Amino acid sequence: MAADPVTATTGAEFRELYRRLRRDRPDGALAELTPQRVAAAAREVRSGLRVSLAAPVETAPGPDNPEPAVHRMTGAVAGHLPAEGLDFARDHIAMNVHGDADSHLDALCHVVYDGTLYGGVDADTLTTGGACALSVDLVRDGIVGRGVLLDIPRLRGVPWLEPGEQVGAGELAEAEAAQGVRVGPGDLLFVRVGHRLRRAEHGPWDAAAARAGLHPGAMDFLAERRVAALGSDGNNDTAPSRTEGVAFPVHVLAVHAMGLHLLDYLQFEDLVPHCAREGRWSFLCVVAPLRLPHATGSPVNPIAVL
């Protein structure tokens, strides 16, 4: 299986792609996730097996995680326990939500492009106190729907894609044909590039500078299929960017133009063996962001239910 050609995108081509893909709907692409489609997604459950699509939160610094999460105990620890009576174990957690290591969801206010947010909302709604519009609070009731996993390394016959490799619309279509699944309206699309497996085998690297991801043209596939959300075990964007003047073209097209909530740096290595064994690559998926009313994103632990 040959990969899609790694092509550059000129500024004019990107602007035209952006114009073609732009949608302005109050709920963004989640408008595709109707109650009827949520109910239909529940019928994906057969074995009842639950699998996390998140990686463990990391507290050690690394080349892809210079500002790791901070976890400290604030009570009831060894050496400071009462001899008798009641006490409580307590802890404090702080994290950089939009890093290159921890699994997280991007809210629709996350991408500022040409001075605006999704739907033409003024970027001045981003204040020192938080986002006053399009925050992660839009998904406070969760994102629940039919998840579909497209495994690109499996299609290519390799364990993972190397940093810098891109996935185009053609490969997404070939992957669904090879896996016997079809992405449809309201689906939560997950694209595996093998980032987590490569990281586990070779150790972390500077993923901000080099990582596998989607080609901007792949967003045509998502628009045609009317997906409700997009997730990857990488950042969704390829690095370095090959789009003239735009460092994160997929983020701009997905979040700013199409109103898609993105899920970055998930992990699919636990899910893939179960999908392969059961011979199906679709499942019920439950995504429950934290209730952070003015946040630009949230750590997240999506659960696939087979």
The model's pLDDT over 51-80, given as tens digits with 9 standing for 90+, comes to 999 999 999 999 999 999 999 999 888 988
pLDDT digits (tens, 9 = 90+) for 107-165: 999 999 999 999 999 999 999 999 999 999 999 999 999 999 999 999 999 999 999 99
- The predicted structure's pLDDT at residue 235: 97
Q: Is the pLDDT of residue 2 over 60?
A: no
Across the chain, mean pLDDT equals: 96
Residue 248 has pLDDT above 60, yes or no: yes
Query: Does the pLDDT value for residue 182 go beyond 90?
Result: yes
Quote the pLDDT of residue 1: 47
pLDDT of residue 4: 47
Helix (H) or strand (E) holding 94: strand 90-94
Helix (H/G/I), strand (E/B), else coil: 215: coil
Characterize 215-250 residue by residue with b for buried, 16 or more Cβ atoms within 10 angstroms of its Cβ, and e for exposed. Answer: bbbbbbbbbebbbbbbbbbbbbbbbebbbeebebbb
Q: How far is CA 248 from CA 15, 55, 58, 178, 258, in A?
A: 13, 23, 24, 29, 14
- Tell me the pairing of strands 188-192 and 229-232: parallel
Q: The whole model's pTM is what?
A: 0.95
Do residues 271 and 282 lie in contact, with contact meaning Cβ atoms separated by under 8 Å? no
- For 200-241, the pLDDT digits (tens) are 999 999 999 999 999 999 999 999 999 999 999 999 999 999
Q: Which runs of consecutive H residues, i.e. helices, occur in the chain?
A: 11-21, 35-42, 152-156, 169-179, 195-202, 219-225, 249-251, 271-278
* Alpha carbons 189 and 231: distance in angstroms, whole number: 6
- Spatial separation of the C-alpha atoms in residues 251 and 135, rounded to whole Å: 16
Split at pLDDT 50, 70, 90, the class of 83 is: confident
Count CB-CB contacts under 10 A for residue 94.
9
What is residue 290's predicted lDDT score, i.e. its pLDDT?
97
What is the Cα 175 distance to its own chain's centre?
A: 19
The 10 Å Cβ neighbour count of residue 280 is: 17
pLDDT score at 218: 97
Contacts of residue 12, Cβ cutoff 8 Å, sequence gap at least 6? none
The amino acid sitting at 101 is: A
